[in-house]
Structure formats: C-alpha cells, structure tokens
Amino acid sequence: MKQSTDIAQMSGVELLGHYRDKRLSPVEVTEDALARIERFNPQVNAYCHVDAQGALDAARASEQRWLKGQPCGALDGLPASIKDLTLTRGMPTRKGSKTTSAEGPWEVDAPFCEFMRTAGAVLLGKTTTPEFGWKGVTDNPLYGITRNPWNTRLTAGGSSGGAAAAASLNLGVLHQGSDAGGSIRIPCAFTGTFGIKPSFGYVPQWPASAMNILSHLGPMTRTVDDAVLMLQTVARPDARDGLIGAPRNTPWLPHSTDLTGLRIAYSADFGYVQVDPQVARVVALAVERLAQLGAQVEQVDPGFSDPLEMFNTLWFAGAARLAGQLSPSQRALLDPGLLRIAERGERISLTQYSLALEARAALVARMAAFHERYDLLVSPMLPLTAFAAGHNVPPGSGMEEWMEWTPFSYPFNLTQQPAASVPCGLADNGLPVGLHVVGPRFADHQVLRLCRAYEQAFANHHPQAPIVGG
C-alpha cells in the first residue's frame, strides 16, 4: 500500500492504475486530499468551499465499484474541484460576490459538473475566483485573496486562481477552470501547472457566460494526460448550450512524443509586447528544446496589432450586462474595479459593439490564414512572473487594468482557438514560466501533442507545500 506522502505526488492516471490493481482505494485518496486541503488551504485560499462529507460518500461508492471491477467511468474515484462560477448540485455557487445569496437552493449541475459526476469524479469542493471572474488575479469581497504556492506573498493569477493553486499543491488531481481572456492560462503560468482553453464550443457552457463568445471551459492539472482525461469526459454536446459547438471527433489522446514534421511559428513578443528578459530567456530555451524534439521552428510574428481595444469593448459590455442585472444596493457591494469597467461598458454604443465584432471576424480570418503555413504558434504565456497578491496590476507598473499585463492571452479568446500554458522552467527569481501553445480552431490534439511531448521530455516540479513568502 502506498503511503499518503506518495499519494500527494500522484497524477490521476497513476491513481487509476492503483485503483485497478487494488493497491489504493478512492477513500484513501480522498481522505488524503481532504487532509492536505485542511492543512494547506488556509495559506493559499484555493478552496472557498469544501464538501468533505459529500466527497467521502462519493469515494465510498467509488470504492465499492472498484472492488467489483466495475468503475462507472473514466474518472471514477479521482478527486476534483469545480470553479465557483459553475453551478454545482449540493454546493454553493457564490461567484465570489456578496451580491449572491448563501441560501440556495443548489439543486442543479452545469453540464461540466454533470459529466464529471457521471464519469465517477469525486467533487471535493469549489475553488476561489475573483468576483464573477472579472480579472486576471484572484481576490474577491466574499472570500479574500488567493495566494501562489510558490510564494504566498504573490498572486496565483486568475480568474481560475483557486484551481491553479489547488493543482500546484495537488489538492485534488482534476480542476475545472474557465477562460474568457486568459483565466485558465494566466494562473497556470504563474503556478507552474498545465491548462488548456479548448476550441470554443468543445465544452458546453450553461448557464451562458456574460462574456459569451469569449468564454471557454477547460481543465487545469499537473499533467497533460490528466487534462486529456478530463477533456475526453466533458467535451460532449449538451442541449442547454445555445452556442454552436465544434466537431467532437478529434482524437484527443496524443500518443507520440516525437514532434518531427510539426511546423511551429515562434514569436517572442508578437511584435509589440515588452517581455521581462528573464521570462524571454526561459521561453527561448524551451523553443530550442522543441527543435530538439524534431519540430520545424521558424521565428515569425502572427502579424496582427494589439487587439486590446476590440477585446475591451466586448469585455466591458459583458461586465455591463452583469451589473445591469443588479439592484443599486447590490451594485454598491461589487468589487470597485468590476463596477468601474461595468460603467465603461454601459457607455459602449451598439455601433461600437458591432464594429468590435467585425474586427474580431477579421482577426479570425487572419489567424486561419496564418495556420495554413504553421501548425502551431508558440510564445511566452505572460511577459512577467507572478507579482504581489492583492493588486490588479504589478505595483509600480503604471498600468490601470489587468488586461495590460497579459497581452498574449486575450487575442485567442477573440479567435476562439485552442490555447494552452505548459510549464517550461523557472525564471531567475525562482518562479514558474509558461510556454503558450496556440493551435488552429478544432486542432486541440496538436496543442496537446506538443505540450505532452515537452512535458515528457523535460521534467517539471511542484512545491510539496506552500512556500511562505517574506
């Protein structure tokens, strides 16, 4: 029997093998995860709600299925978390906001949760998000600040910062994130974990996000194979999703680690981004390694100017939609930053919104043409490493909004392409750096192929406990 200290380092794929061989049970694994959440969560605030009894009940049911050799699905007995923006039966979905009620009832699962449960996942609880997921760091008026396990003085990123902190410490092996401007990839880069924003429509969303055509749901894990396990489970149609999905016959599992023949475009800065030299060095080394794995790499920019104004028009309009549903007394409870961009969104005209949609369509066409020449685009995930927690922008940077420090992420929410952050090393300051991998729409398998090959060839490591920052 494996000891609990070993369980803490295992991936979901490894756990399933131990369940199959009856060397571990889902109950042991769930108890271990809950014990570590109790120990570590006060330091990082990854979970805003833990359902210990519900998780243990689900684990016991899973244990009985495994003893009979009859697991109910691909995730049977694997401890998992759900972001606090996603409806979850039996658990509060407060969205990090004092404007929501604690009373419930919590009787409905969003499709993502429903698919996870049907596949046997053990839902441990809900992970922390900024209020309504509005920004690239994680703090909110209801639950406070989420901190980075690599240095608790620093932010874990956002908006899926709780999920990233949980993945970094292995507080559960499968974690759900959402990404409308970088919210899966930003915290994965800051915490040295893996996350993918799948092609828009692969994973159904209901209720619809206020950010609508920008928002994707996806996995956040320590390993690419664990993310694939999740995608194979949740990338399926749901009648409640009113937006058209992508074809779902893609072979998700990337079997080969050989990148021979893969045409990769490498852009160090997109032609307009100022990148911290220590980040640039780590990413440049990672790109050299891709060539060592057989990829054909060419340094070239994607050829578009910064689409920030276009993105902000759509993003601020979504914030206005959120705030417009609230009473004056509820609006007074909002994060001041969220209220500020909502008020900016309320001043956007229909013509401005329509022009942003037209510009978005042109960007989609440009990237489609780009990917006729290149299978994948790689770049830094972020131009900087994690900064002080409790701030929306790096202190002293002169920036006003979070979008300004994540210029590599939001273009691909506009284009709805699959995009992932895979850890590629540590900067000089000892903090994780992410390699951004972007594929053509519906070529998620190519993104996963590269990420898995890199992960298999170049080992990554994670903190075993939160590192208390000075």
| Rounded-to-integer distance, Cα 109 and Cα 92, Å | 11
104, part of any domain: yes
Contact 405, 186 (CB under 8 A): no
**Residue 69 within a domain:** yes
Answer whether residue 297 is part of any domain: no
Q: Catalytic residue at 95?
A: no
**299 in a domain, yes or no?**
no
Task: Give the CATH number for residue 47.
Answer: 3.90.1300.10
The question of whether 183 is a catalytic residue gets the answer yes
Which one is catalytic: 11, 62, 83, 421? Answer: 83
307: in domain: no
Nearest of 396, 470, 437, 420 to residue 187 by alpha carbon:
420
Tens of pLDDT along the chain (470 residues) come to: 334 448 999 999 999 999 999 999 999 999 999 999 999 999 999 999 999 999 999 999 999 999 999 999 999 999 999 999 999 999 999 999 999 999 889 999 999 999 999 999 999 999 999 999 999 999 999 999 999 999 999 999 999 999 999 999 999 999 999 999 999 999 999 999 999 999 998 999 999 898 989 999 999 999 999 999 999 999 988 999 988 666 665 555 556 678 999 999 999 999 999 999 999 999 999 999 999 999 999 999 999 999 999 999 999 999 999 999 999 999 999 999 999 999 999 999 999 999 999 999 999 999 999 999 999 999 999 999 999 999 999 999 999 999 999 999 999 999 999 999 999 999 999 999 999 999 999 999 999 999 999 999 998 999 999 999 76
- Amino acid found at 370: F
Calculate Rg over the CA atoms of the chain: 21
SS3 414: helix
HSE (CB half, 13 Å, CA atoms) of 71? Answer: 22
Report d(CA 137, CA 320) in Å as an integer: 20
Q: Is residue 453 part of a domain?
A: yes
Q: Which domain holds residue 128?
A: 4-259+272-280+376-457
pTM summary value = 0.97
Position 198 in a domain:
yes
- CA distance to 149, 156, 164, 289, per residue, from 427 (Å): 16, 16, 19, 16
Tokens of 340: 């500020």
Annotated active-site residue 168? The verdict is: no
Q: What is the DSSP code (8-state) at residue 209? A: P
H/E stretch holding 379 reads strand 376-380
CB 121 within 8 A of CB 75: yes
Number of domains the chain contains: 1
Residue (of 9, 413, 402, 340) closest to 190 by Cα position? 402
Say which of 81, 159, 160, 168 is annotated catalytic: 159
Distance between CA atoms of 166 and 26, rounded to whole angstroms? Answer: 18
Indicate whether 445 belongs to any domain.
Answer: yes
Nearest CA to 218 among 206, 208, 205? Answer: 205
Give strand pairing partners of 144.
Answer: 140
Closest CA to 228 of 29, 418, 94, 358: 418
Identify the active-site residue in 178, 183, 215, 421. Answer: 183
